[in-house]
Amino acid sequence: MMEDRNRSKMDVEFYLLNREYNELSSDELAIVKEHVESEQEFNEMKAVVMGVGNIFKEEKELEPNPAIKVALLKEFDKQQPAGAYWLNGIFVSLFPKEKKLFQKPGMQLIGLAASVLLIVTIAFNGNTDINNSTLAQNEGVKTEEEAVEEVSKLEREEVDEEKNLLENDLEPIVEVLEKEIEVAPLYEVEIEEKPETVENNLTTTAFMYDEQPIESVAADLSSVPDADYRRNDNNINESEESFNNGISKDEEKGAIADDKLVISAVTPATIEVVEEFSIEDDEGYFSDDVSVAAGALDTGNNSVDLPVNSRTLADDADLIGILYTAM
């Protein structure tokens, strides 16, 4: 029976295939009668349609020759530029549908490979007796991969050890460096301060020697015209005299400033003693000071009224003793 998908109810063919003449409704009969004159004609046409359907259905259809496809595919490959080779393309050529199972090239190749494998297996079977005790066995030999793995493992361990050693060595260095970085400014400070400290120490030492007499004598100095004179830079005579003694004015001032208290400690009564002491002393520091003080005393610009009751050092041995102690 032919399919009705291409036939509508407006086609007479539909009624020829699916209805008997006496089964047609009035509407269907009206459609049929537009093309068919009588019931006999309808039946004749129906016989043809049914018979044709059976003929074409039962008719053995021709199968195309497989060689035509092969030739056409070759022609197609010639015509088209060489493209990608697909695995299923290879599969199609190895296992064509048209050929029988054992005529397929793929099957023939598989058979050939199996035969070769079988022959090789049989041929070498007698010479590969593993259990033969005469064969040399070397079980301890490591494979190449194992050897490479072992070497790489050792190398890794060495590298790790080196790393650890480097880290351990670096730690104290880093600590020392950090400490140095912290300490360095302190040294600088100390180095800068050192000269001052030395000077200070010196002055302090000097100060310490005269600490007690300073305070007691300083008050006396303020009342002494000599002291005022020493603070007055305009006193030319004094400067000249100082110059004659080999001391510049500035040095003199510094000496005065630095050793003011020392000088102040020298009272008019002790000038001679100091003078003697200064001569014996190797340092010109005190001798200069003393000379300045002595000069100052000798000068008569500012008259100094020495107390009448003053005593010489020779008169007072105790005073000398105290002085030595103070020194």
Partner 1 sequence: MQLVKKSYTAETDENLMREVIKGDNLAFSEIYDRWSKPMLNYFYKMLWQDREKAEDFMQEIFTKIIHKPQLYNPSRAFKTWIYSVANNMCKNEYRRAEVRKGTSNSLHDNIIVHDSSAPDKEHDKNIFNDRLKEELELLSENHKKTFILRFKHDLSIKDIAEILETSEGTVKSRIFYTLKKLGKNLKEFSPVAKTIMVGMCLIELVQYII
Chain contacts with partner 1 (rule: CB under 8 A): 2-3, 6, 11-13, 16, 35, 40-41, 43-49, 51-56, 58, 61-65, 68-69, 71-73, 75-77, 79-81, 83, 86-89, 92, 97
Q: DSSP assignment of 68-93, as one string?
A: HHHHHHHHHHHHSPP-PPPHHHHHHH
Cβ proximity to partner 1: between 55 and 186 the closer is 55
CB within 8 A of 43, min separation 6: which ones?
Answer: 21
Q: How far is the CB of 74 from partner 1 (least distance, A)?
A: 10
Q: How far is the CB of 55 from partner 1 (least distance, A)?
A: 5
Q: Which own/partner contact pairs does 128-135 have at CB distance under 8 Å and 24+ positions apart?
A: none
Rounded alpha-carbon distances, angstroms, from residue 176 to 8, 191, 232: 106, 21, 57
Cβ proximity to partner 1: between 81 and 172 the closer is 81
Q: CB-hemisphere CA count at 13 Å for 188? A: 6
Cβ proximity to partner 1: between 78 and 100 the closer is 78
Residues 311, 314, 316, 320, CA torsion sign: positive
Cβ proximity to partner 1: between 20 and 298 the closer is 20
Q: How far is the CB of 112 from partner 1 (least distance, A)?
A: 24
Cβ proximity to partner 1: between 83 and 300 the closer is 83
Q: How far is the CB of 15 from partner 1 (least distance, A)?
A: 12
Q: How far is the CB of 25 from partner 1 (least distance, A)?
A: 21
In terms of Cβ atoms closer than 10 Å to its own Cβ (0-12, 13-18, 19+), residue 274 is buried
Distance CA 264, CA 259 (A): 8
